Structure 1
Amino acid sequence: MGKRHEAIGIKQAIRFEWMQKAANLLLAGLDAKTIRQELHEFLADRKGNGSEGERSDQTRTFVVNNLMKIWVSPDSELLPFRDASLAILRDNPSMSLPVHWGMVSAVYPFWLNVARQTGRLLALQDQVTQIQITGRLKEQYGDRQTVSRYTRYVIRSFVAWGVLKDSESKGCYEKATSINITDANAAILIFESALQANPDAKGTLGMLQNNPAFFPFQIPVMSGDFVSQRCERIEVVRYGLDDELLKLKSTCY
């Protein structure tokens, strides 16, 4: 495992359509240098709130670097996962949002941690505030100013992706309508993203099935055997009477 589990990394809000653009350029067979150039041109007049307008070279570079890291040049151990994600985007584009969610979560586990704290709070109350989410994350990452700023970028990304909604009160959010994952392979990718985001590369099936980080989705119930049979990168280990532990095979690294 690399340093991505400790890193925060997301330095600007990332809109869903920008993720789509990066993946589509990759699916078109373009090389990394060309994709980087295309993304710079694409984002030259697009702001993080979706409006048109010039953005600084620095902020554009932050976003392009994030998009490149997510789709084009992730860490080597993530390449098989990236390729499987691309295959679903190509074959079942209706599942693009959970696929992108899984990819950004694997590359930047901070995204998944923000989602986990958001999901936990939403399980207890109808609305969550940025302050509540940030407070929980500071327990994990320390009371750094960057934690507050980068958490805000991820939350604004959630809103831009349509999985959170702004409420009438500033800095307060509500859950949007859940997205039903109808493709089993897309659901397995979501599970795998959590394993990839975990330094231990493992988790019980029950915890994955009910992971609050997946609050935007309705995930079908699956057995551990089904998951391991459909994904060669995951193995299942049984313990106790009916507990199943999913773990990434060491060949993934």
Structure 2
Amino acid sequence: MKKAVGFDQKLQLHQLDHIARELSRVENRQELYDLVDQNLMADIAGAKARLNARTILFKIWVLVDNDNVEIRDRGLQLFTNASREERLLLHWGMMLLAYPFFRDVADQVGRLFQLHGEFSSMQLSRKIFALYGERRRVSVSTGAVLGTFKHLEVISEQKKQYVNAGKIPIHQLEFKLWLIEVMLKAAEKSAIELKQIATEPCLFPFSLDLAESELRNNRLQVTRQGIDMVMVGLR
């Protein structure tokens, strides 16, 4: 059985900001569709491509799985007063939840950065083809996710090689805890070792420095295994 792809149009930060902002304000679904479509016209001339982008945006922030509504709503609350970097973190988390394909590409990019410090589009394509099969839809969607990374300025291109644009420091604890919870849900992990959070491949754009004492809240639980292994999991 072929794995679903779905992410076939590159997105920009202001497009993601717009739907998150309007979702908190507009209750009528059709009105929200129209507002998003109108906003996309400035960037995307073709009706089909615009429909694809709108479909992706709605899946990220509006048409979320029932299990993710509560964490989405907390993300919207955080969005209200978030900085650019924090808004990017919120969008990143919601894309991880909405699109396993996005998560897999982010994971492979993070691993390539850890191994080589850079990668080519051909290297990335080989990794993704191994997971999803070598077909045109996979190639198009890989390019769309890569284009989204470039628009979000988390990678940059130098001499046909992609490099990390630099870790984005996240200082506010509530954003870091939200992203860890999202990552665990998106990756379907019951727990992760505390010291591995900082190097989790799919979170490659962000610097998440955390102390054990900061992780004790009503949604995450911390357990010790042995002398120095601290595990962080969902309650």
Q: Work out whether 1:118 is the aligned partner of 2:106.
A: no
What secondary structure, in the 3-state scheme, does the structure 2 residue paired with 1:45 have?
Answer: coil
CA distance in 2, matches of 1:190, 1:28: 24
CA distance in 2, matches of 1:10, 1:112: 11
State how 1:189-208 maps to structure 2 within 5 Å: 189-208=178-197
Alignment partners' CA distance in 1, 2:211 and 2:170: 12
How far did 1:245 drift? 3.0
Q: What are the ranges of 5 or more consecutive residues in structure 1 without an aligned counterpart?
A: 1-5, 48-53
Which one is further off, 202-211 or 33-42? Answer: 202-211
How far residue 154 of structure 1 moved from its aligned partner, in angstroms, is 0.3
Query: Which amino acid in the other structure matches residue 222 of structure 2?
Result: V
**CA contact under 8 A between 1:126 and 1:175: conserved in structure 2?**
yes
Question: Counterpart of 2:118?
Answer: 127
Q: Does 1:59 align with 2:56?
A: no
Give the TM-score taking structure 2 as reference length: 0.90
The residue matched to 1:91 in structure 2 has which SS? Answer: coil
Alignment counterpart, residue 154 of structure 1, candidates 138, 145, 153: 145
Aligned-residue CA RMSD (Å): 1.9
Deviation at 1:21, TM superposition (A): 0.4
Deviates more, 1:21-30 or 1:203-212: 203-212
Unaligned 5+ segments in structure 2 are none
Contact 2:167-2:206 within 8 A present in 1 as well:
yes
| Cα displacement (A) at 1:201 | 4.4
1:238 equivalent to 2:224? Answer yes
In the TM superposition, 1:84-233 aligns within 5 A as: 84-94=74-84, 95-169=86-160, 172-223=161-212, 226-229=214-217, 232-233=218-219
CA deviation string 1:156-209 (max 9, x = no partner): 10000011112233xx31221321111111112221221121234433323323
Supply the distance in 1 between the matched residues of 2:223 and 2:5 (Cα, whole angstroms): 31
Q: Specify the code of the residue in structure 2 equivalent to 1:245.
A: M
Count of residue correspondences: 232
Which residue identity is paired with 2:203? F
Q: Percent of pairs identical after alignment?
A: 25
